[in-house]
Amino acid sequence: MQQVGPYVSDYGLEHHGIRNIRVAHWNYSTAGLVEDAIRRQEVALAQGGPLVARTGHHTGRSPNDKFIAKEPSSEGNIDWGKVNKPIQQANFDSLHQRMLAYLQGRDIYVQDCYAGADPDYRLKVRVITEHAWHNLFARNMFIQPHPSELKDFTPDFTVIQAPGFQAIPEQDGTNSEVFVIVDFSKRLVLIGGTSYAGEIKKSVFSYLNYLLPERGVLPMHCSANIGPRGDTAIFFGLSGTGKTTLSADSSRTLIGDDEHGWGPNGVFNFEGGCYAKVIKLSPEAEPEIYATTRRFGTILENVVMDPNTRILDLDDASLTENTRASYPLDFIPNASASGVGGHPENIIMLTADAFGVLPPISQLTPEQAMYHFLSGYTARVAGTEKGVTEPQATFSTCFGAPFMPRHPSVYAKMLGELMTKHKAKCWLVNTGWSGGGYGVGSRMKIAYTRAMVRAALDGRLGQVEFVADPNFGLLVPQACPDVPADVLTPKSTWTDKAAYDAAAQDVARRFEKNFEQFTPYVDDKVKAACIRSA
């Protein structure tokens, strides 16, 4: 086996059962990985320097193909069900051995990195990939050790990713040829049959979500930033709610855009990069993120490019609505060098309500915060997915259900305890529709949302009058700098007031129906905070 690269670890591939590889490329730099990815015709080079990658049929995660190996050490801690589906350890072992056989005689790429900016809680991750561009993705997304730490780098867990290797469903117990499987006892993730790079990122996140609660750290699907006076804020939200956009505020220092831990030392980023949606990205509204799509080292997934001029068209969704950019965190001008912050003073929970009934900003009591954290509400709009003809409510508990191996109540309890201990305020921010639902009203102006979030974080909203929303019980501010007063109360923006009342009651009932699954796990105060529909 030939091993090349600037930093080859003494903890070699034989420890992973990998043998007879043609060439193992270790810890290549960004330039080296870009060079190899282009030479191997894995990607194309766009004007300005970013790489453009096509992921084929799979342009997003494959949640139905995600499994957890059922084994004694973790079996009792997993919230088994539609999200955390079991697979027999024998099936995992069989896939693992066949994947190792598949890799023989091929080139592979190895990237050793950290997950977790807090030195007290960081984990060593080894990502082994079939293609150079996926290894660059890992290099972008995780934290780079100092070169002196790579010689004896011994991973705490490993990801092996081979898009060209496919499962045999009837033999392996999978749903398709695609598989994303973790075995917690072996500290190993296997990914095959898909080129979508996000599976690498999210498999590491899922691993941390299982491991860190036992170490007293709450893992969170959120972004985080720090204000001029040193105040930390975290932003929960599902895809499309504005989590990345709102946290990349030029007036605040960005800790990270997607995955963090909240532990004894405060908040810390799990990652060293960002993975932002870029469909219809605006250079005026989102200048920091837009600029990254023109930089060397960025990977653009499924972004359309003119084959002759190599000019990008970020508005073209012909391949997918889920176009993505992967780039190092320091591509954002105001990014934190340390990736850590203090205990948050403010928590923002983002939703994109396509029904147009939730207030654009409201303050939550601690009990309401727990209710909305467990609910994890947003809404999909018509036209974004086949068969979706009207807005659909989506509930993803903890704002990240697909990545939470333990029962949601574990994470919710930790959040409640941390909020109480550190006296954090919580705000629900609706970045969705105003003046009517999707197709009638319009999307909330990002300038208004930014103004409301800034007023919440700097304390100005704490000085105004609040009125309880009659449908949801949320405390709604009656004034906000740089935002028209009528925008703050959703019913006032609707022409048809009766239609608003009907839509609000419908959404409230959806909340109640979804929350029934959590009532056995929460105390009476949280139950009392539940929405009461008429």
What positions carry a catalytic annotation? 61, 202, 221, 239, 243-244, 258, 324
DSSP strands (E only) in 2-106? 2-4, 23-26, 44-45, 51-53, 66-70, 85-88
Compute the C-alpha angle 92/396/60, nearest 5°: 55
By DSSP bridging, strand 107-115 and strand 123-129 are antiparallel
* Helix/strand/coil (H/E/C) assignment for every residue in 161-229: EECCCCCCHHHHCCCCCCEEEEECCCCEEEEECCCCCHHHHHHHHHHHHHHHHHHCCEEEEEEEEECCC
Q: CA–CA separation, 272 vs 357, rounded Å? A: 37
156 close to 187: Cβ distance less than 8 angstroms: yes
What 3-state DSSP class applies to 86? Answer: strand
Q: CA–CA separation, 121 vs 124, rounded Å? A: 10
Amino acid at 164: G
243 close to 96: Cβ distance less than 8 angstroms: no
Q: CA–CA separation, 1 vs 373, rounded Å? A: 50
Q: CA–CA separation, 304 vs 483, rounded Å? A: 36
Compute the C-alpha angle 525/526/532, nearest 5°: 105
Q: Minimal CA–CA distance to 326: which of 293, 360, 365, 372?
A: 293
Fill in the DSSP letter of residue 160: E
Fill in the DSSP letter of residue 231: -
271 close to 259: Cβ distance less than 8 angstroms: yes
**Total residue count of the chain as it appears in this document:** 534
Q: CA–CA separation, 259 vs 203, rounded Å? A: 12
Q: Minimal CA–CA distance to 161: which of 176, 145, 140, 182?
A: 182
